[in-house]
Amino acid sequence: MDFKEIKEFLLNCEDAVILTHKSPDGDTFGSAFALCRVLRNMGKRVNVLCSDGFPERYSFLYEGCEGDNTLIEPKCVIAVDIADVTLMGKNLACYQQEGAVDLCIDHHISNKHYAKKTYVDAQASATALVLYELFKYMEVEIDTQTASCLYTGIATDTGCFKYENTTVKAHIAAAELISMGVPFASINRRMFDLKSQSRIMVEQIATSNIEYYFGGKLSMIVITKELMQNSGAEDSEFDGIASIPISVEGVKMGITVKQRGSHTYKLSVRTTDEIDASQFCKNFGGGGHIRAAGCEISGDLDEVRGKILELAGKYFGV
């Protein structure tokens, strides 16, 4: 599939829902709300859906894309930044059936091609970058709010342009978006610097529970349901701590294990240039990027920890 086909699809799609992944981040939301704004400006009825709701942290992206109650039965379903239907979450289960998604736009090399039509650019730093290039091809207006959504997606998926997936194209796109009036300083402060009191508490909990294995080459943080409930913080506050374990000097692999169900744990894996995080997670049915990936493992905590350490040991010669 190419941009010409996507353009034709979008022009002919009158009523649409845009799906985002569970545990949403700046790329899935930035991409979704940018696309929502472009389609609404074309006269389409569009809603954005997320299994986990819409956290306050990303509220600045929602402007102009509030829910449309007149859209009852969408005629087309679009997924953005979703490599696998399992990443949609339980509240979007109806879209996980075969053939339920009409178009998927993504940048994950691990994309399962579950949609009727799929466009994946694995070289793109973010799905938002793919959409920016698409919008330029379509010659649609990109207003400041839409540009802000796109910039947020690129900035968050590149770790404020410090991850290895940051490309020349990403820098150029960011510069062009800034020229459109994007308040980049306030966005970056909000995404990377600003923390609520509960977020500070969450980080204290995370650092106090960090575990080290294989001579300090692997660090791991385990966040249980009980720990989350006792903290009093929102679950979404725990979603951004995946960068903590890998930030420790000497660590080659950092893993955050977050309990999602009674016997289900979500892994967020971050690695240095010696280990492929996506290949590690692929062993558990997940995937992602070379330096950042995720998966879910079933079992009680001891079983899950054992599975992680057994596989990790192969990477560290144990």
Are 37 and 65 spatial neighbours (Cβ–Cβ below 8 Å)? yes
- What CATH number does residue 151 fall under? 3.90.1640.10
Query: Quick check: helix, strand or coil at residue 213?
Result: strand
Amino acid (1-letter code) at residue 182: V
Beta bridge partners of 265: 259, 297
Output the pLDDT for position 10: 98
C-alpha distances in angstroms, 119 versus 15, 17, 144, 230?
20, 17, 26, 43
Average pLDDT, the chain: 94
Residues 209 and 174 in one domain: no
Nearest-CA neighbor of 262 among 303, 318, 206?
303
pLDDT for res 190: 94
For residue 10, give the nearest of 83, 85, 80, 103 by alpha carbon. 103
Position 70 scores a pLDDT of 66
- Tally of domains in the chain: 2
Residues 22 and 163 in one domain: yes
- Is the whole model's pTM more than 0.85, yes or no? yes
Q: Decide which of 192, 221, 254 is a domain's last residue.
A: 192
Question: CATH code at 281?
Answer: 3.10.310.30
Predicted confidence (pLDDT) per residue in 201-217, tens digit: 899 989 999 999 999 99
Q: Pick from 192, 210, 233: which residue ends a domain?
A: 192
CA torsion, ordered 55, 22, 129, 242, to nearest 10 deg: 80
Residue 159 carries which side chain, given as an amino acid letter?
G
- Is 181 found in the same domain as 140? yes
Contact present, 270 and 242 (Cβ < 8 Å):
yes
Do 169 and 243 belong to one domain?
no
What pLDDT is recorded for position 160?
Answer: 95
Which range of residues forms the domain containing residue 258? 197-315
- The answer to whether residues 14 and 125 belong to one domain is yes
Reported as a pLDDT band with limits 50, 70 and 90, residue 299 is very high
Q: Are residues 43 and 167 in the same domain?
A: yes
On whether both 188 and 201 belong to a single domain, the answer is no
Q: pLDDT > 90: what percent of the chain?
A: 79
Domain identity same for 24 and 155: yes
Q: Is pLDDT of 20 > 80?
A: yes
Q: Are residues 182 and 90 in the same domain?
A: yes
Rounded Cα distance, 299 and 304, in Å: 6
pLDDT tens per residue across span 73-130: 889 999 999 999 999 999 999 999 999 999 999 999 889 999 999 999 999 999 999 9
Instruction: Assign 68 a pLDDT band (cuts: 50, 70, 90).
Output: confident
Whether residue 27 contacts residue 127, with contact meaning beta carbons closer than 8 Å, is answered with yes
**Mean pLDDT to the nearest integer, 44-67:** 91
215 and 179 within one domain:
no
| Rounded-to-integer distance, Cα 198 and Cα 195, Å | 8
Residues 81 and 166: their CA atoms lie apart, in Å, by 17
pLDDT at 240 exceeding the cut of 80: no
